[in-house]
A and B are shown apart, each in its own frame.
Chain A
Amino acid sequence: MIRSGKLFCALALLFPALCFASYDEAMGKRHLLIAYALFWALSFAAIFYFGLKGRQIKNELSKLNERLQALEQKDRAEEETKAQESRSPDVKA
């Protein structure tokens, strides 16, 4: 998947360059190339940024989940010890 993505990016950037080479005049060619390159650069930057941000948030979510589970376990353990303590005087009596 990654390899095909890289190949696609390379083709997307190379193809117009090959086309430009065959044009006769230089009328606005440079500006067209800049606009086209910016379009692709912005698109890949957006995909990368949104993907990275999503992954960071998912990592944070899994860490918080672990913390929550640890807290709940601790609470359960405390409740059990309290229950045992409350039961033990009865046994003595």
Chain B
Amino acid sequence: MKRYALLCISGAVLTAAALCFAFLVAPRIDSMGDVQRIFYFHVPSAWLSYIGFLIAFVSSLCFLFQGKEKFDLFARVGAEVGLFFGYIVIITGPLWARVSWGVWWKWEPRLTSMAFLVLIFTIYVALQNVSHEKATQKLAAVLALFGTPSIYFVHSAVNRMQGLHPKNVVSQGLNFEMRLALYSFFFAELCLFLGLFALRWNGLKAERAVIQMKKRLSKMEEER
């Protein structure tokens, strides 16, 4: 409970700072207008979705090699939280595109590869919800192993292929105020990520305990 409170307080403070930096301190880019400020929560959401999917990747690998249930749980939580941030990216992106490009969606490399990545992990989560059998868990782990490398394509799509999406500007094209806004939003969203992770982890652990308890009960009733 203390940890949750600490996370809530740090998240609130960071969000307040991020809001100040993003809406008051960071300058407006005249060629794009105010809609460019979507960038400050669109990009950190994409980073956090990558982190979630990478957690799912590493845990799935461990699950396939060691077969321990906790790795499968960890992968599932990583995928679900990563998917949540992936949906934020997919939803906020078209709102920016509508003003900048004049269309909601364009089948260009970055957008298509991100949609593909989100689709893979949507299937992963759906598969994990269908059944709790070992075979399904293994199939989902294999899906995560094949799906996660798409992050590389999503990241490099703007630099290697011609598209409408802006290039990766974080390393060069931002001034100090913009960086401050971006990173403060990243850390605020990281608190949200950790909070959601802890909530889902506890929930899924309890779900597994319920399944085991039901099995034990049905066995006892059969013996009677």
A54 touches B202 (CB 8 A): yes
Given the known interface contacts A27-B34, A42-B91, A71-B220, the answer about A50 and B19 at a Cβ–Cβ threshold of 8 Å is: no
Complex Cα spacing A67 to B141, Å: 34
Partner of A28, one of B32, B92, B216: B32
| Binary flags per residue of A21-38, CB closer than 8 Å to B gives 1, else 0 | 001010111011011101
Given the known interface contacts A31-B95, A46-B196, A47-B196, the answer about A65 and B213 at a Cβ–Cβ threshold of 8 Å is: yes
A57 touches B91 (CB 8 A): no
B84 touches A19 (CB 8 A): no
- Quick check: is B12 within 8 A (CB to CB) of the other chain? yes
| Binary flags per residue of B19-62, CB closer than 8 Å to A gives 1, else 0 | 10001100000001111111001100100000000000000000
CB under 8 Å from chain A, chain B span 63-97: 84, 87-88, 91-92, 95-96
A50 touches B34 (CB 8 A): no
Q: Which residues of A contact B203 (CB under 8 A)?
A: 50, 53-54, 57
CB under 8 Å from chain B, chain A span 5-60: 5, 8, 11-12, 15-16, 19-20, 23, 25, 27-29, 31-32, 34-36, 38-39, 42-43, 46-47, 50-51, 53-54, 57-58, 60
Given the known interface contacts A31-B99, A32-B34, A50-B200, the answer about A68 and B15 at a Cβ–Cβ threshold of 8 Å is: no
Interface residues of B (CB under 8 A from A): 5, 8, 12, 15-16, 19, 23-24, 32-38, 41-42, 45, 84, 87-88, 91-92, 95-96, 98-99, 192, 195-196, 199-200, 202-203, 206-207, 209-210, 213-214, 216-217, 220-221
